[in-house]
Structure 1
Amino acid sequence: MRKLSPYLGSLIEDLDTPNRINVLDQIGQSGEYYAIPYLLPLMESEDARVVESAEMAVSKLLDFCPALELAWMNEHIRAWHPSPTEWKRATERMMRALEQASFTRLSISSMHWSGYVREAAVKRLAEVDNGRAFPFLLLRMNDWVPEIRNIARKSLEQRRTSNNAWHWIQNISLVDRLLTCGRDSFEPFVKSIHQLLRGSECTEALTEALTSQDNKIRRFAYRASVEAEGADAAAVIEQALMDCDTEIRRWASQKVETCLENESLYKMLLRMKSDPVPSIRRESLALLAVYFPNAAKEILIDRLLDYNMTVRETARRYLNRLHKMDYSEYYLDVIWNGQEQHLAVAIAGLGETGQDFENEVLFEYSDHPSVSVRKAVLRGLAKLNPEPYASLFTDSLQSEQPGTSREASRALRRYPYLVNPDELASMMSQEQPDHVMRNALRLLPAFDRWKQLEILLDLLTYTRIDRLKAKIREQLVTWAESSNRKFTGRPKENDITRIHNKLDHSRSEMDDAVHAKIEWFINT
């Protein structure tokens, strides 16, 4: 089951109180459709008012439920099964109830554990004239009972017309889901729906879908609109590049070269160069350099100070074709000219393009008050020449700023020889913030395996924070499992007793199976 919010969880608990009708109304208003499986038993209550309230709440929650989430609900609604003696009576009772059932009861019954009930519900849904039945019939197209699959498929094939274009678009995620289902061959059916929606008669429905609140529907609508009969692909791409959804803009950036040209292309590339997504900015720089090289030079120079490394690399790559320049000198100018807003980026750029001797420039900013600058210094030194600055990385690992500590850990994992295992163990034995301990634990796999084990056993014994204990236990399990796959070698004789003592001392803190496996490795 999906995790319920604390508010909804408290309401579910109140369903056992005399105030359940009011509670059902509150649940229906909450919009948290995860509650539906909890409400179904009340739809079988002997109290007509409770049945009516439960059905109304389920109806409201179904309106909030995205089409694809119905697949999740389908699995959980039929999770309960009655006893063999109750099975027949429950089925007969449900079959009688379906004769005059509301649409809400029919839709829920189409997911019932009994094939007889599902079949009866699907037959009734097939008679429903509007588009509300589409998602429930699409789910039953993959039912494990062939007769039910056939009823659902026949009904949907009869509705495969442009008049139902909007209903097909609204449920396109369930249509595409059929391609991952294996109880029948659905590819021809899915292709036919896609082909239908790309027809000229469905243009209006596709255009309307471009403004849907559902990202999945908009994604499909943009792709289909570009490929539709008589489509104005350029206008669709321009609109897609202004969409709030990252995936849509990323897709449009890959289509812009083939769908736009001249002034329209240039205008959109200028918009793309400021997009929050780095891959879109990279695409714009590449296309500007190819199609508008004269205008691209200044833009590429400006992007040398982009906050994303891959965008800076793209700018340098295309500038090499248009305008030769010394990038390290450029970044040094920015640093020394006091452009504080670009300092962190310039330091990062110098680390990417400078020479070993320029690490002294970076080190001057290692105690800068800005966290982003200090992180850039660590990244730059790691790329240029980290060896003289081992103490800086170790000190930064213990920083109170999580980002700085994480950056130091990342650099030390690349150059583990900069860390003395005994010093690291001593540091971890002291009281440290959670993030420092987590980042230090990430360094252990870079050391000798028996040294790893000693440090982990020590930490397990004296660490008092439950979250860290769990992380340490995970690493001990990993140590034992990986040692089983790869030859570890036996520790030195004078180390065996010490490791044995630490293992025995921490025995109560670990699983018996893990303890036994580690002991076996020590002895063999």
Structure 2
Amino acid sequence: MHILTKLFGTRTTPEATSYPIYLYPGHAIPLRVALDTVAASQDHVQLLEWTKHYSGYIREAAIARCVELGKAECLPPLVGRLNDWVPEVRRAAAHGLLTLLATVPAEHFIPLLPQLRALTEAKRTDHAAWLSHFEQQLVHAGGRDGVLNALSSPDFRLRRAAYFVSHAQRLLEPSALSELGLRSGDIALARHAVTLIDTLPTADQPALLQLALSSSFGPVRLAALHLAVRHPDAPEIDSFLRRALFDAQGTLRHAAARALTTKGIDITPLCLEALASERLDSRRVRTALSLMVEIGAPYVEDVLSRYANDPRVDVRVRAMTLQARQNPAVRDELSQRALRDASPKVRVLGALLCTRFGAYVSLDQVRDLLTNHGDYRAALRICGREKWDHLVCLGWTTEFCSLDNKLLTELRQMLGVWLAREGASWTRPSAQHVDLLLRQQTAAALLELAADKRSVLADCLQRGGVWECSQS
């Protein structure tokens, strides 16, 4: 059958096939000539380019010629056209791949499984029925071993595709497939594998459930917990629930707490017992403290106060954060205490309590922060809330901290922003601000920082009533 009849049917007319097509760049030829050229081509590299041609007729003709040649090199472009925007091209590619299964060895199709499996998410049409039929034919054509070998491929996309083909075509027993997914280290496979457990015979479930409960993926552990609580008499379920109380994932902690409460077990003693044992690492200590706050455990304030003095920095930060959440009235005290801490991480928390939660820190305490720790970032963050505090802090940072070129440039940029915005606010400096800005060392530091903008700074301070004309 002539290629024109294939594409246009019996209603082919000269007009329908005479409009120009650019088969090669810069050279237009009639469509009928272009189609004949494609149909006679032996150059598979050129055919692969034509499968991406702007004309659907050329793409369809190139696919038909690829199928006729029957070369393995033609498989990838055919897969690429399975979701083409032209229905006829899609059908040609789908039919062509099924046809090539009879002549091209099945192993050449295995690397294409990720692209084929991506059709499950395609939106132009529903490929599910065709994909299932193709995978079935691939297995029958000798592709079973190739799919199973791909389960251990270094390419995670190929491993995933092979796994889902194995599941869809039942190449492995569900229990073996579930274990494979749970041990894969791939969250996509592990999440699917845990859903298989509930479909297995009761005798096969405990071992796989235990494997899922010890997964490194929080969503997998959570799904396994939901399965486990359906069988409250299952062995080791209570042991897992107690461990899950201190899990890093909050959703899992809540689920474990609800399950234990349903079983009539009081959670607070479990937390206190675990903390008292001193066998918990810092992450689990933080988790236990969070859980006690979440469930509203009694004595939690005393426990938090004790751990706010813990030698581990991350534990101190968590304990003080939870204290601030529990009792907003102590945020001022907590912020002041955090800013005296030797750890920069704890001081960051102190600044955060000021900037985000409105805790109060005096300027004297900011100066202590600079003189004792040189922590100008925390100091500037705190003082950034009020413009005159900010100016004083810029002067102190210049005065008390060691300045390299980078920090000096950064401070000058901040002062430039302050000067540019000064007229946008009518806030007057307080008596304390005036006294601090009149200190000879602070004034000299600000003038040094201002550099070529000294006159602008002096003018701003004169208008604010801080400096007299003689000082500029």
The bucket for the TM-score relative to the shorter chain is 0.5 to 0.7
Q: Secondary structure at the match of 2:229?
A: helix
Q: Is residue 365–residue 373 contact of structure 1 (8 Å, CA) maintained in 2?
A: yes
Residue of structure 2 in register with 1:282 after alignment: 222
Q: Show CA shifts across 1:418-462 (max 9, x none).
A: 35799999999997587x699x59x99xx8xxx79x979x99xx9
In the TM superposition, 1:418-497 aligns within 5 A as 418=359, 432=375
Partner AA of 2:203 in structure 1: E
Alpha carbons of structure 1 residues 143 and 361: separation in structure 2 relative to 1, 3 Å: closer
| C-alpha distance in structure 2 between counterparts of 1:467 and 1:159, whole Å | 68
**Is 1:306 aligned with 2:306?**
no
Instruction: Verify: 1:194 aligned to 2:136, yes or no.
Output: no
Match of 1:241 in 2: 182
- Counterpart of 2:434 in structure 1 is none
Instruction: Return the index of the structure with the highest Cα Rg.
Output: 2
Distance 1:176 1:321 in 2: 42
Q: TM-score, normalised by structure 2?
A: 0.60
Q: 1:385 aligns with which of 323, 327, 348?
A: 327
Alpha-carbon distance between aligned partners in 1 of 2:201 and 2:352, rounded to the nearest angstrom:
43
CA deviation profile, 1:120-174 (whole Å, cap 9, x unmatched): 9766644553433222223245567888767645533523669765555532333
* Contact 2:246 2:288 (C-alpha < 8 Å) held by counterparts: yes
- Do residues 364 (structure 1) and 306 (structure 2) align? yes
Relative to structure 1, the CA distance from residue 244 to residue 229 in structure 2 (aligned partners, 3 Å threshold; closer, same or farther) is closer
Q: Does 1:223 align with 2:164?
A: yes
Given candidates 198, 202, 206, the residue that maps to 1:262 is: 202
The unaligned stretches of length 5 or more in structure 1 are 1-83, 473-490, 496-505, 507-524
Q: Counterpart of 2:259?
A: 318
- Distance in 2 (CA, whole Å) between partners of 1:437 and 1:88 is 67
Contact kept? 2:271, 2:288, Cα under 8 Å: yes
Q: 1:466 to 1:140 in 2, by over 3 A?
A: farther
Q: Percent identity?
A: 21
1:100-119 maps to which residues of 2 (within 5 A)? 103=45, 107=48
Cα distance in 1 for partners of 2:129, 2:329 equals 59
| Aligned CA-pair RMSD | 5.6
CA 1:332–1:163 in 2, change beyond 3 Å: closer, same or farther? same
Structure 1 distance, partners of 2:210, 2:225, is 9
CA contact (8 A) 2:71 2:104 kept: no
Contact 1:178 1:186 in 2 (8 A): no
1:242 offset after TM fit, Å?
A: 1.0
| Cα distance between partner residues in 2 of 1:138 and 1:244 | 29
- Describe the shift of the 1:178–1:285 C-alpha distance in structure 2 as closer, same or farther (beyond 3 A): closer
Shift of 1:406: 7.0
- 2:77 is equivalent to residue 136 of structure 1: yes
Residue in 2 aligned with 1:52? none
Relative to structure 1, the CA distance from residue 437 to residue 291 in structure 2 (aligned partners, 3 Å threshold; closer, same or farther) is farther
Alpha-carbon distance between aligned partners in 1 of 2:158 and 2:134, rounded to the nearest angstrom: 16
How does the TM-score come out when normalised to structure 1? 0.55
The one-letter amino acid paired with 1:155 is G
Q: Which residue of 1 aligns with 2:268?
A: 328
SS at match of 1:418: coil
Answer with 372-381 or 116-125: which moved more: 116-125
Alignment CA distance shift 1:351-1:146 (3 Å): closer
- Shift of residue 243 of structure 1? 0.8
Residues 171-180 or 261-270, more deviating: 171-180
Against the structure 1 CA distance between its residues 222 and 167, is the aligned structure 2 distance closer, same or farther, given a 3 Å change threshold? same
Are the counterparts in 1 of residues 338 and 347 from structure 2 also a CA contact under 8 Å? yes
- Aligned 8 A contact 2:324 2:331 in 1: no
Residue identity in the other structure for 1:222: Y
Q: 2:318 aligns with which of 359, 376, 379?
A: 376
Instruction: In structure 2, give the amino acid aligned to 1:276.
Output: S
Between the aligned partners of 2:260 and 2:367, the Cα distance in structure 1 is 49
Deviation, 1:412, is: 7.0
C-alpha displacement of 1:318: 0.8
Q: Does the C-alpha gap of structure 1 residues 437 and 321 become closer, same or farther in structure 2, counting only changes over 3 Å?
A: same
Does residue 295 of structure 2 align to residue 353 of structure 1? yes
Query: Which amino acid is the alignment partner of residue 375 of structure 1?
Result: V
Once the 2 structures are TM-superposed, how far is the Cα of residue 116 of structure 1 from its aligned partner? 10
C-alpha deviations, 1:252-294, integer Å up to 9, x for none?
Answer: 1233212x23332111111222211122222333323322525
* 1:253 paired residue number: 194
Cα deviation code 1:325-368 (max 9, x no counterpart) = 2x333322333343353544433333333457532331232243
Contact residue 197 and residue 205 of structure 2 kept, 8 A:
yes
Structure 2 portions without partners, runs of 5+: 1-21, 30-36, 399-404, 415-423, 429-449, 451-472
For 1:255 and 1:369, how far apart are their aligned partners in 2?
45
Deviates more, 1:289-298 or 1:145-154: 145-154
Q: How far, CA to CA, are the matches of 1:162 and 1:399 in structure 2? A: 74
The 5 A counterparts of 1:9-48 are none
Q: Report the alpha carbon displacement of residue 205 of structure 1 after superposing the two structures with TM.
A: 4.0
Structure 1 177/297 Cα, relative in aligned 2: closer, same or farther at 3 Å? closer
How far apart in 2 are the matches of 1:160 and 1:466? Answer: 70
Provide closer, same or farther for how the CA distance between residues 255 and 425 of structure 1 changes in structure 2, counting only shifts above 3 A. farther
- Whether contact under 8 Å (2:332, 2:361) holds in the other structure is no
CA distance in 2, matches of 1:467, 1:313: 49
For the residues of structure 1 that align with 2:67 and 2:151, how far apart are their CA atoms? 29
CA deviations 1:223-266 (Å, max 9, x no partner) are 333332575222211211111212211221233212x2333211
Distance in 2 (CA, whole Å) between partners of 1:231 and 1:375 is 49
- Listed one character per residue, the Cα deviations across residues 19-74 of structure 1 (whole Å, up to 9, x for unaligned) are xxxxxxxxxxxxxxxxxxxxxxxxxxxxxxxxxxxxxxxxxxxxxxxxxxxxxxxx
Q: Of the candidates 357, 380, 383, which is equivalent to residue 416 of structure 1? A: 357
Q: Which amino acid aligns with 2:130?
A: S
Deviation at 1:221, TM superposition (A): 2.9
